[in-house]
A and B are shown apart, each in its own frame.
Chain A
Amino acid sequence: MNTTTDTTPPARRRPWRDPRVRALTFQALALAAVVWFGWTLLDNTLTNMAERGISTGFGFLDEPAGFGILITLIPYDETMTYGRTFLVGLLNTLLVSGLGIAIATVLGFTVGIARLSSNWLIAKLALAYIEIFRNIPLLLQIFFWYFAVLQNLPSPRQSVTVGEAVFVNNRGLYLPEPIFQSGAGWVAAALAIGIAATVVLARLAKRRQDRTGRGLPVLWPGLTLIIGLPALVYALAGTPITWQLPALQGFNFRGGMAVLPELAALLTALAVYTAAFIAEIVRSGILSVDPGQVEAARALGLRPRLTLRLVVIPQAMRVIIPPLTSQYLNLTKNSSLATAIGYPDLVAVFMGTTLNQTGQAVEIVAMTMAVYLVISLSISSLMNVYNRAVALKER
């Protein structure tokens, strides 16, 4: 058989006719343009700042700060560096955001469920709460709690007191502080064991429920383990934890733990405001569950509380989580309003005083923005992990 095969390769497409090459070229060009734009921006900024005699670079972070900060979670004094003020501010931001998210979640879920209550009064109270707090600007609410409520409390010398141990005045809420002595470690260990045992118990109960349909009581044994066990060890070890009471000394209360009005006002405002939004999200989540599900649960003889816990909430969660995440992000970002009442958060301390003392606006603003970005992305990815865990799994 004589077959002559055409050995010339198929005509090569010219590069500019090749869609793949073309696409790559355009992408490379676009990338180059973006990089060039960014570089020009940076280079121009640096050149102009140098021309005008404005210091640049991050060397200032190692210089001593020389100013005081009202609330510090880590040891800090005036001799420490500007870098340290960044950490102090960051931790204060995380403190108010973390506490705010926890309180707003509990409050929001409670109000959201109350909003759907069959009790007329409870439902209307929840409605009033949501409509009032959702519709007033957050900054006004912060001012309200700070200037109208907390600053009108009595002065330290006329403090409201509960049993000479807890004091409330316009300088804050003063609580007894636990002082740990030798042996306190055992109590802490007992607490850890109690919590671990409760978690194991809850897992066992869940597994048994899945297998046999019968649950195990978790609440009361759990509480006994978490509270009772450490209490027992505390008594046996000879009460190793003593309480230091706050006492009026000079201008202020000394000793004990203090919740300052700046923190209290900001936390209250953030939690109450965000909870109103969370309540609506929870309500929409619950309403999104098909009524047939509830009817089926009732038909199976589940009590209303169990229906809510085992049937409605798990299905509502997949609707609730994504918008809930953005409320958490909002709360964190809104915490920067702290500046308005002098709570030393990242924006007030670092972008406020530190920026002003060093004058390095570009570096400091960039760092602060990067921090909020990282916090937000972290919350977002954590919530995505949780979302994947609770999402409806189709089998």
Chain B
Amino acid sequence: MKRLVSLLTSLGVVAALAASATVAAADNSTLATVKERGQLICGVNSGLPGFSATDADGNWAGLDVDFCRAVAAAIFDDPQKVRFVPLTAKERFTALQSGEIDVLSRNTTWTLTRDASLGVNFAGTTYYDGQGFLVKKSLGVDSARQLSGATVCVLAGTTTELNLADYFRKNGMEYNPLVLENSDQTISAFNAGRCDVLTSDQSQLNALRIKLPEPSAAKVLPEVISKEPLGPAVRQGDDQWYDIIKWTLFTLINAEELGVNSNNVADMQDADNPTIRRMLGSSGDMGEKLGLPADFGTRIIKHVGNYAEIYRRNVGADSPLELERGVNALWTDGGLMYAPPIR
């Protein structure tokens, strides 16, 4: 029961915050805790193909999942040393605040309110998304502007819920929001015809459409009504850990830009390019500055690959979703993926 779980997590925050008076005084470095525990605890979506979902053997896979594996690879040199905690949209911040998870990598939109008042820090953007609408073709609708009076299925506790209200109000249209707990419920209500429209981030709509009994009977409308930069988040108050998460992401992006991938990483360690040598730990002490081993970059690329590989494997050409890179291409290719230099 989701309700019970979220209630318990909420109560957990109170208990954990109250109990952590003594803990706060002691060494509360997240990195030390993770190392001592021997594994990273990562909060992910309970089921969103391409981002985080379990396969037939119970293994987690997806873009968000691979990001956590990259962090584990940097710390332990072993991408399997992660425990994944599936969370609903409603539970995610509470789980992070209470210390139940070390990092939240659950297609979470970076917004001012979340950054400033929830006690969390966003480490960057792993996927630039935007909100759209999924409709059945039989409805005969070509544009979101024709949706006045529609019943809209939407996920509880998301920015989507707010964007939806803004969009309909801005355009002077009416709607009935049917707010559901998880994405399986939204797609089943949409399939049963309880709602006319399903709204979510475009990547999710594509992922959910595949779950329909007849995917070709539904289509995503052209309008993108919001900016949804999705990225990993950590608790405030531990800057070292925040830096580790940030630079894990930047390493993935820089590696793509520098042409380093899981196949050539061993050879690249002896490359002439000083930037590559710094990233892979062949020269300099970049890892040490973060509290990580010098070769943390090599570990990440060796086990998980660079950003392009992760994208292609999970949501791109090699996946059922077949999403174009679009705005998620490197800045050198006209996209938005840009990472600060490793120097």
Known contacts A352-B156, A353-B179; A365/B189 CB under 8 A = no
In the complex, the chain B residue whose C-beta lies closest to that of A47 is B21
Chain A residues whose C-beta falls within 8 Å of the C-beta of B150 in the assembled complex:
250-252
Binds A, one of B10-18, B223-231, B293-301: B10-18
Contact, CB under 8 Å: A48 / B18: yes
On whether A67 and B236 interact (CB within 8 A), knowing A44-B17, A356-B90, A359-B118, the answer reads no
Given contacts A342-B180, A361-B10, A362-B13, contact A250 B3 (CB under 8 A): no
Give the contacting residue for B194; candidates A41, A51, A170, A250; CB below 8 A: A170
Task: Establish whether residues A67 and B192, one from each chain, have CB atoms under 8 Å apart when the complex forms.
Answer: no
Query: How many Å lie between the Cα of A53 and that of B298 in the bound state?
Result: 35
User: Is the C-beta of B86 less than 8 angstroms from some C-beta in chain A?
Assistant: no
In the bound assembly, the distance between CA atoms of A365 and B189 in angstroms comes to: 28
- Of A48, A70, A249, A347, which contacts B21 at CB under 8 A? A48
Query: Contact: B149 with A249, CB < 8 Å?
Result: yes
A78: interface (CB < 8 Å): yes
C-alpha gap A286/B179 in the complex (Å): 44
CA distance A362 to B14 in the complex (A): 6
| Interchain CA distance A352-B90 in the complex, whole Å | 7
Q: Which of A231-255 contact B (CB under 8 A)?
A: 249-252, 254
Q: Does B123 contact A (CB under 8 A)?
A: no
Minimum C-beta distance from A251 to chain B (A): 5
Name the B residues within 8 Å of A352 (CB-CB). Answer: 6, 90, 156-157, 179
In this complex, which of A41, A51, A70, A361 has the most chain B Cβ atoms within 10 angstroms of its Cβ? A361
CB-CB under 8 A from A356, the residues of chain B are 89-90, 93, 156-158
Q: B3 touching A336 by the CB < 8 A rule?
A: yes
Q: Which of A48, A53, A70, A252 contacts B149 (CB 8 A)?
A: A252
* Nearest neighbor of B196 in chain A, beta-carbon distance: A251
Does the CB pair A359–B180 fall under 8 Å?
no
Query: For the complex, is B235 an interface residue (Cβ under 8 Å from A)?
Result: yes
A170 to B189, CA, bound (A): 10
Q: Are A250 and B18 in contact (CB under 8 A)?
A: no
* B2 part of interface (Cβ distance < 8 Å): yes
Counting contact residues on chain B (CB < 8 A from A), the size range is 35 or more
- Establish whether residues B18 and A67, one from each chain, have CB atoms under 8 Å apart when the complex forms: no
CB distance from A231 to the nearest CB of B (A): 36
**Bound complex: CA A53 to CA B117 (Å):** 7
Residue B119 at the A interface, CB < 8 A?
Answer: yes
State A359–B91 Cα separation when bound (angstroms): 10
Tell me, in angstroms, the Cα distance from A45 to B18 when the chains sit together: 5
The A93-112 residues at the B interface (CB cut-off 8 A) are: none
The interface on chain A, measured as residues whose beta carbon lies within 8 A of the other chain's beta carbons, has a size of: 53
Give per-residue flags for A52-93: 1 if the beta carbon is below 8 A from chain B beta carbons, else 0. 111100000000001111100000011000000000000000
Query: Does A386 make an interface contact (CB < 8 A)?
Result: no
List of A residues within 8 angstroms of B175 by Cβ: 68
**Cβ B161 vs Cβ A261 within 8 A:** no
Chain A residue contacts of B11, Cβ below 8 A: 365
- CB of B179 within 8 A of CB of A344, answer yes
B323 contacts the other chain (CB 8 A): no
Interface residues of A in 250-268 (CB under 8 A from B): 250-252, 254, 261-262
B157, chain A: closest CB distance, angstroms:
3
The answer to the question of A36 belonging to the interface, with a C-beta cut-off of 8 Å to chain B, is no
Cα(A147)–Cα(B7), bound, Å: 24
Cβ of A52 and Cβ of B21 under 8 Å apart?
no
Q: How far is the CA of A139 from the CA of B4 in the complex (A)?
A: 12
Give the docked Cα–Cα distance between A384 and B23 (Å).
47
Return B225 CB to nearest CB of chain A, in Å: 14
- A343-363 interface (Cβ within 8 A of B): 344, 347-348, 351-353, 355-359, 361-362
| Cross-chain pairs A/B with CB under 8 angstroms, 22 sampled | A44-B20, A44-B21, A51-B237, A52-B119, A53-B119, A68-B164, A70-B176, A70-B177, A250-B148, A337-B3, A340-B181, A342-B185, A342-B189, A351-B6, A351-B7, A352-B157, A356-B157, A357-B161, A357-B162, A362-B17, A364-B10, A365-B11
Give the A-binding residues of B (Cβ under 8 A): 1-3, 6-7, 10-11, 13-14, 17-21, 24, 89-90, 93-94, 97, 113-114, 116-119, 139, 147-151, 156-158, 161-162, 164-166, 168-169, 175-181, 185, 188-189, 192-194, 196, 235-237
